[in-house]
Structure 1
Amino acid sequence: MEGTVTEPVAEPVPVAEEEEEEDEEEDDEDEGDLAGRFLRLEREQEALLRALPPFGDPVSHVYRPLDYAWEPHCDFVRRYCRTPKRVLFLGMNPGPFGMAQTGVRHREGETEARTGLGQCVCPPWSHRGGNCGARFWGLVRTLCPDPHLFFRHCFVYNHCPLLFLAASGRNLTPTDLPPAARDPLLGVCDGGLARAVGLLGVGLVVGVGRFAERRGGLR
């Protein structure tokens, strides 16, 4: 049976406070600003992904960073996605040592400290490592040392926001899924990408890897 990873259960919150927090979150995302609309788009895509049937073998667990790491993800979007973007850097899906730990696409703990992207928030069950984010942000830092200048014209996005693991703990990509599970997943993610491109006014999609290059053209 597949497992779905969510954040640990928090201490009970008084109903009045809980309702107040929910109202504040809704207000933040209903202001009509670009970041708020982008976050609503992501929430709608996540709902569609949850409606998909179980992925089946070889998938054992599905990590949903936009669930348990929603707060740091929102902070990142609200800081760097306030204006339309000319270029969208597109990845495949979260890596076990990147977005799965931080809630931010292509983000890696050590590199973020050097690029000025802010603090990393890692779930207690995880550990840092890997170098995919380090390579990506290392290139960005070389080309554009000021992250604020980079995000003035560019943004980063994953075609699929889910991380898949086999029972052994091996990382699985969407291409490792059987066609019956992969095709509906890609359909939802293609739609989410098209909406994100339209919302942000993107003129150029740069695929980080062959999969992203193909899906960036929606082929």
Structure 2
Amino acid sequence: MPRTKRTRVNSDESRSAKKLKRSNSGTLDYMAQIQTALGIKQNMEGNENAVEHSSAVLTSTSNVKKDKDAIEHTPIALGSISDKLLSIEQELCTKLQDITFPSVIQYIYNPLEYASETHAMYVHKYCTGEKKVLFVGMNPGPWGMSQTGVPFGEINMVRNWLKICGPVKSPSKEHPDRKVTGFECTRSEISGLRLWGLFRNLCGSPENFFRHAYMHNYCPLAFMDARARNITPAELKGGQKILHEACDKALIDIIQLLKVEIIVGIGNYAEKRAQIAVQTGGLPNIQVMVLRHPSPRAVGNQNWNETAMQRLDELGLLKFFEKADV
């Protein structure tokens, strides 16, 4: 009787998928960045970590296992809403680090890591309480959040209107045509300029916008192919299911944390994911709406400001963005 021929997995096939991963030390470095941005002092003695934050001392243990995929993280101190939101994002980044993406994805940028300081500034400055309205974008743009760590973070709007500026590091692997230079970047992200410009005109000051609202991106990762072509989460052909599950969970947690009543998806993809998150999370009282994406590449988007103003009026949202009485 002939023997069954054994097959061997081709090594090229095993390398056909791109995996976003970090070593144990890399993951712990990221945790240290977040903790530093939060102003947390950490002293380690044996297996006990004494975390001091806002005069409160929390004790936890951290055990890094030999298996590189089994890492028990030391939680950051949870006090304010902003700290809790950063913790949700930290947990999301941990889940995303081992997702296997298709080989066409050659570059993955995560500004929550290399721009952790300015991102934490944004969260601490503008997410200090509950929010009625949550605006949800898709993922970082190459000249916006990828440079500043702020959703739709066009350089001048972030620096001059939101009053956020600080050091930004570089991704571990950069495309030469998509260098991260932080606030030295000379390119302008038109989508962010349009979106934040709209609310600057409506609200006058950032405080008037963030009094009732917050701006958040559904997915913290930016994807590119070998030619630096942007690949959106909606275009992913592999790893999308796990990505969606992780990002949906984080969005649900943020909705509940901020006690959001209305979600406005910026673009159809963000609206769809918000709808799914609301259904999955059992949040039937949350209203989900959509605002046309401000991308200049979209057909018929030349008069985006006028269209967006009309849409906000139709949705009954303009009342949340009135300028404060002088």
- Report the TM-score when normalising by structure 1: 0.84
Note if contact 1:65-1:99 (Cα within 8 Å) is conserved in structure 2. yes
Q: 1:42 aligns with which of 69, 74, 89?
A: 89
Q: Which residue of 1 aligns with 2:139?
A: 93
Match of 1:137 among 170, 176, 196: 196
Relative to its length, the structure with more helix (as a share) is 1
Deviation at 1:112, TM superposition (A): 2.6
CA distance in 1, matches of 2:78, 2:246: 26
- Which 4+ runs in 1 deviate beyond 4 A? 1-6, 20-23, 120-124
> Is the CA contact 1:3–1:61 (under 8 Å) kept in the aligned structure 2?
no
State the aligned residue count: 205
User: Can you list the C-alpha shifts for 1:14-51, whole angstroms capped at 9, x where unaligned?
Assistant: xxxx9x95852754451411111111111011111113
Report the 3-state secondary structure (helix = DSSP H, G, I; strand = E; otherwise coil) of the residue aligned with 2:94.
Answer: helix
Mapping 1:130-169, distance limit 5 Å: 130-169=189-228
Structure 1 counterpart of 2:250, one-letter code:
G
Return 5+ residue gaps in structure 1 as ranges: 7-17
For 1:106 and 1:115, locate their aligned partners in 2 and report how far apart those are by CA, in whole Å. 13
> Partners in 1 of 2:234 and 2:134 — Cα distance?
22
Structure exhibiting the larger radius of gyration computed from Cα positions: 2
* Local SS of the residue matching 2:41: helix
Q: Which residue of structure 1 lines up, in the alignment, with residue 251 of structure 2?
A: 193
Percentage of identical aligned residues: 35
Q: 1:24 aligns with which of 7, 16, 41?
A: 41
CA RMSD, aligned part only?
2.5
Q: 2: CA distance between counterparts of 1:114 and 1:145?
A: 13
* Structure 1 range deviating more: 104-113 or 138-147: 104-113
Name 1:119's counterpart in structure 2. Answer: 165
Q: Residues of 2 paired with 1:117 and 1:159: CA distance?
A: 23
Is the alpha carbon distance of 1:120 and 1:131 closer, same or farther for their aligned partners in structure 2, counting shifts above 3 Å? farther
Matched residues in 2 for 1:27 and 1:68: separation? 24
Task: Indicate the structure with greater strand content.
Answer: 2
2:108 to 46, 49, 62: 62
- Partner SS state of residue 136, structure 2: strand
TM-score scaled to structure 2, two decimals? 0.58
Aligned AA for 1:110?
N
Deviations 1:180-212 (A, max 9, x none): 311111111111111110111110000111111
- The residue number in structure 2 matching 1:182 is 240
Paired with 2:166 and 2:152, the residues of 1 have a C-alpha distance of 12
